[in-house]
A and B are shown apart, each in its own frame.
Chain A
């Protein structure tokens, strides 16, 4: 089955190579620009600033929480879209992707209109339980979840569509009920797709700015995530902003790389 063929070097067609290289340059050059402009000597002192560490910690924690929430709700949504057989499924799919298209700032306003003090749900929460969501860490997580969950849903739905339903039928003939089939067969088989979706979702949440600042405001340690800190730094000090961006970038790349190593190790 897994006989290794001698590796053959095949020429890559120029029609693919040229746009690929151009595209890569387009993606990588801005990063090069940041690196070239970075005041390297200032980095250690910047990292020692308590506000920056607080923002970084908050970013990592909230992006992870948003990813967890997206998994909790997004995987069932994806299942519904991929396997459900009901009228209006196409409309539902379009609705799920709305946050992808909506400018995040508008998403933030929309969240305020729902969960704000005068919002549809928020007013009830405020009157009933004296709970306000805007300007809290919860609001950060909600804003991130709102903009990043579609990435997870789209990715998982694709994986579900690609998965062979017959394995699920085989599991049923072996005595597995629907839920067991899902947890023991479907989910393990689409795990790579779920992971890819979760990574996308996490990355998007980590970079989230517009909806967060609109819905959660900006308060150091509570709602000021790295992108907010970067944006505010940009108001007064370009180089500080670059340092913070690079820090965010480095941490996210490190997290994703270690995750990937662990994942490929587990799969082997």
Chain B
């Protein structure tokens, strides 16, 4: 898949514009740093972006939050961006293979939990407790689905969810709406929805720890700032923000 600006690239670029929402239009006379980040980083990176702006006069950070695979496709198709923060190593690898990124560094870890309704009415304590219950998981095509499969395999259980959802928010939504008894989601997602769900940790999740790599892009319009931003994300201040959101330090 050589990067050649084709129609598909145009479509994806259009999609990225839509994803940016209104913020992309405001120019300002300072420098704008464009960060493509996985959707699961939305809350944490918005906060980190604010702190980065506070430390760098005249710099604006704009985010494009989307699924990691969408972002990887956009970057390999030539979308203009400075930094890529992915929710898994695989999608970062795609960007690296395409020559769009180099030297990714892991800045956060995320682990699966069993999300259950608030108060845990079914007393779910372990993965085995899901047997005989309806639960939702992510589809294998996306990182949280691959992680769920790995965890279930590690437990040696024959658990089949009632649905393989297309993204982690949809998975969680099925739980919130009461359609399933439990959902296998990332700890960060369970924490983001904390008023409605409880997160049950389980040991097998260690078999499928998700790593979040970040890299400045080769064609970054603001190469210097891009390097600054990746360093900033790995520093203590940003790490604290990530931890609050439920991520673990690498």
A residues in contact (CB < 8 Å) with B = 29-30, 33, 36-37, 109, 112-113, 116-118, 134-135, 213-214, 216-220, 223-224, 228, 231-236, 238-239
Contact = CB atoms under 8 A, between A and B. Distances in A.
Contact of B163 (A113, A117, A218): A218
B43 interface: no
B11 to A, nearest CB: 8
B179 A238 contact: no
B1 interface: yes
A116 B170 contact: no
Nearest to A216: B163
Given A112-B177, A116-B178, A217-B174, A135 B69 contact: no
A118 B177 contact: yes
Nearest to B174: A217
Interface stretch (B16-24, B136-144, B188-196, B213-221): B136-144
Interface of B: 1, 6-8, 11, 67, 69-70, 73, 134, 136, 139, 141-142, 161-166, 170, 173-174, 177-179
B166 A232 contact: yes
Nearest to A238: B73
A214 B179 CA distance: 11
B141 A135 contact: no
A15 B250 CA distance: 64
Instruction: Report the 5 A-B pairs with minimum CB-CB distance, sorted nearest first.
Output: A217-B163, A33-B7, A118-B178, A235-B141, A232-B141
16 contacts: A33-B11, A36-B6, A36-B7, A112-B177, A117-B178, A135-B134, A213-B170, A214-B170, A217-B136, A217-B163, A217-B164, A219-B163, A220-B164, A231-B166, A235-B67, A236-B141
Contact of B69 (A36, A37, A113, A235): A235
A27 to B, nearest CB: 14
A33 B170 contact: no
B7 A232 contact: no
A217 to B, nearest CB: 3
B178 A217 contact: no
A232 B177 contact: no
A27 B173 CA distance: 35
Nearest to B160: A219
A236 B8 CA distance: 15
A236 B70 CA distance: 9
Nearest to B73: A238
A235 B6 CA distance: 19
Instruction: Pick from A29, A220, A232 the residue with the most CB of B within 10 Å.
Output: A232
Contacts of B142: 232, 235-236
A36 B8 CA distance: 10
A233 B161 CA distance: 19
B135 to A, nearest CB: 11
A238 B67 CA distance: 14
Contact of A213 (B11, B73, B166): B166
A218 B163 CA distance: 5
A98 B73 CA distance: 35
